[in-house]
């Protein structure tokens, strides 16, 4: 019987590639720290993975080394040689880089991705986990749990703390890591602090990711972080950048369904317009329930305007008050949903919300910001903005407010996007949204 083998890998310099797991890394350049906790310039010591003889009683550890990262592996076992039916239609592995990988959101998300729930049961996955210097050990813990979960589609797990290593050849970059706001901090401080992270990550994506890489920014303030990332990654199509508003869409769908007394799936065509902040606009005007206008099904405009709308706008803040920390599981679910919406065709007549670059948008929103709008996908990872939604006065006024907020945020980070001369006017602005806090 053929036996599955796993071999360890870790972030080594871009040449040789990560997949050459037994290749000795070159000395790392001074000033860059990699995931391999060995002394720089020394050979990577490879821990031979557990080898299976095919009999449960003969499981043995072939060899161990003390300083190789735990949990990282590249699965060399070709499952099709044993059982062609299992993997006959598998695609080439998709390389998914995740920042904030040791945080709580990732702890939910990574296992969904590895299970095949997100990219599909015919889609093998290579996970590249990005953490920080402080989370090295935790990253290994995450990698170990992934390894222990026996996901057939999970072909590779690697860890690292330098985006220039972790983002190499990435097909997807899920940027969850961001610093949390502390006591006494102004929102402008927050933009500055997290903005710097997304400058570095944007530059790294620009240099080492696939030019087709799709980027989903979750770390708050996610719209403007996505803008910073996009402006620092000119090699990537601006249409490849998203900021997560699917969580808001899911929240809106749930509340509409509960109010109407129907199953969630009945609620469709829900748009979140604008910023992932308290100015976001959950659109009940164009939403549908069972194919009917939600406003007609619910027939309670006071509830829609005065209860539903602020409830969705402040749901994240309320969760923080309840939990003492920001949402994690539901955020992970919504990231999975956001990706699924891009890799599967959107059902006829429906759309999903994602904050995307406004260049050339059909709603007259100022260009050059990242703004949540209704999108459709053919399932190839790209999207089109859905045109022709009804924008009544109520919506227009609120969409404008969110647009103004994002324009101001963009001004505040103009020094991070290569557009010098912006004036930051956000000090003292209403700022309810806290950060996921996954570093």
Tokens representing 327?
A: 């949402």
Helices (H), 48-120: 79-82, 84-87, 104-115
Q: Name the residue nearer to ligand LMR (CB basis): 272 or 287.
A: 272
CB of 323 to ligand LMR, least distance (A): 10
Is-contact 147 71, C-beta < 8 A?
A: yes
Helices (H), 95-186: 104-115, 136-148, 163-166
What whole-number distance in Å separates Cα of residue 304 and Cα of residue 300? 6
What whole-number distance in Å separates Cα of residue 246 and Cα of residue 334? 5
Residue carrying structure tokens 């083998």: 5
* Partners of residue 130 on adjacent β-strands: 99, 160
Q: Is the dihedral of CA 243, 166, 179, 144 positive or negative?
A: positive
CB of 334 to ligand LMR, least distance (A): 9
Summarize as ranges the residues that interact with ligand LMR (CB under 6 A).
220, 247, 316-317, 319-320, 326-327, 433-436
Residue nearest to ligand LMR (CB): 316
CB of 437 to ligand LMR, least distance (A): 8
Q: Name the residue nearer to ligand LMR (CB basis): 215 or 319.
A: 319
Tokens representing 311?
A: 């409830």
- For 169, list phi and psi in degrees, rounded to 5: 60, 15
Is-contact 280 402, C-beta < 8 A?
A: yes
Q: Name the residue nearer to ligand LMR (CB basis): 36 or 190.
A: 190
Tokens representing 436?
A: 């996921």
Q: Name the residue nearer to ligand LMR (CB basis): 25 or 437.
A: 437
Q: Name the residue nearer to ligand LMR (CB basis): 196 or 320.
A: 320
Residue 387 CB: number of other CB atoms within 10 A? 10
CB of 331 to ligand LMR, least distance (A): 6
Residue 161 CB: number of other CB atoms within 10 A? 20
- List the one residue out of 8, 223, 219, 250 whose CA is nearest residue 98: 219
**Would you name the residues annotated as active-site residues?**
276
Tokens representing 47?
A: 């821990």
Tokens representing 3?
A: 């036996």
Q: Name the residue nearer to ligand LMR (CB basis): 333 or 413.
A: 333
Helices (H), 149-293: 163-166, 187-208, 222-231, 246-260
Beta strands 352-357; 241-243: pairing state: antiparallel
CB of 300 to ligand LMR, least distance (A): 25
Is-contact 260 289, C-beta < 8 A?
A: yes
**Is residue 118 classed as helix, strand or coil in its secondary structure?**
coil
Q: Name the residue nearer to ligand LMR (CB basis): 326 or 358.
A: 326
CB of 220 to ligand LMR, least distance (A): 5
Over its C-alpha atoms, the chain yields an Rg (Å, rounded) of 23
CB of 179 to ligand LMR, least distance (A): 13
């Amino acid at each position: 019987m053929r036996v599955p083998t796993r071999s360890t890998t870790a972030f080594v310099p871009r040449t040789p590639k990560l997949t050459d797991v037994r290749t000795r890394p070159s000395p790392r350049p001074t000033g860059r720290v990699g995931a391999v906790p060995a002394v720089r310039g020394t050979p990577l010591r490879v821990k031979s993975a557990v080898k299976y003889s095919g009999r449960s009683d003969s499981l043995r550890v072939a060899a161990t080394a003390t300083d190789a990262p735990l949990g990282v592996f590249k699965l060399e076992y070709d499952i099709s040689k044993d059982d062609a039916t299992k993997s006959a239609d598998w695609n080439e592995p998709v390389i998914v880089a995740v920042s904030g990988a040791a945080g709580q959101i990732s702890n939910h998300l990574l296992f969904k991705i590895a299970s095949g729930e997100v990219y599909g049961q015919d889609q093998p996955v290579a996970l590249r986990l990005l953490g920080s210097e402080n989370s090295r050990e935790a990253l290994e813990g995450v990698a170990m749990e992934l390894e222990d979960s026996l996901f057939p589609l999970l072909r590779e797990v690697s860890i690292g703390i330098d985006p220039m290593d972790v983002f190499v050849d990435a097909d997807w970059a899920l940027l969850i890591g961001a610093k949390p706001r502390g006591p006494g901090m102004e929102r402008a401080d927050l933009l500055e602090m997290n903005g710097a992270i997304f400058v570095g990550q944007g530059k790294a994506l620009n240099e080492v990711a696939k030019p087709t890489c799709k980027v989903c920014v979750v770390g708050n303030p996610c719209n403007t972080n996505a803008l910073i990332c996009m402006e620092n990654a000119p090699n990537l199509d601006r249409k490849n950048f998203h900021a997560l508003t699917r969580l808001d869409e899911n929240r809106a769908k749930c509340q509409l369904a509960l109010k109407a007394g129907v199953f969630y799936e009945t609620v469709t065509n829900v748009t979140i317009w604008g910023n992932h902040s308290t100015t976001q606009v959950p659109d009940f005007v164009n939403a549908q329930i069972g194919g009917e206008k939600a406003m007609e099904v619910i027939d309670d405009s006071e509830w829609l305007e005065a209860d539903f709308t602020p409830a969705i706008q402040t749901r994240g803040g309320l969760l923080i008050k309840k939990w003492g920390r920001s949402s994690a599981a539901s955020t992970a679910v919504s990231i999975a949903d956001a990706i699924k919406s891009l890799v599967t065709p959107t059902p006829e007549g429906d759309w999903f919300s994602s904050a995307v670059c406004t260049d050339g948008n059909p709603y007259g929103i100022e260009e050059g910001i990242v703004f949540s709008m209704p999108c459709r996908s053919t399932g190839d990872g790209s999207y089109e903005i859905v045109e022709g939604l009804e924008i009544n006065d109520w919506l227009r006024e609120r969409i404008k407010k969110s647009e103004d907020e994002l324009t101001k945020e963009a001004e505040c980070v103009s020094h991070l996007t290569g557009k010098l001369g912006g004036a930051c006017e956000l000090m003292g602005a209403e700022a309810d949204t806290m950060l996921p806090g996954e570093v």
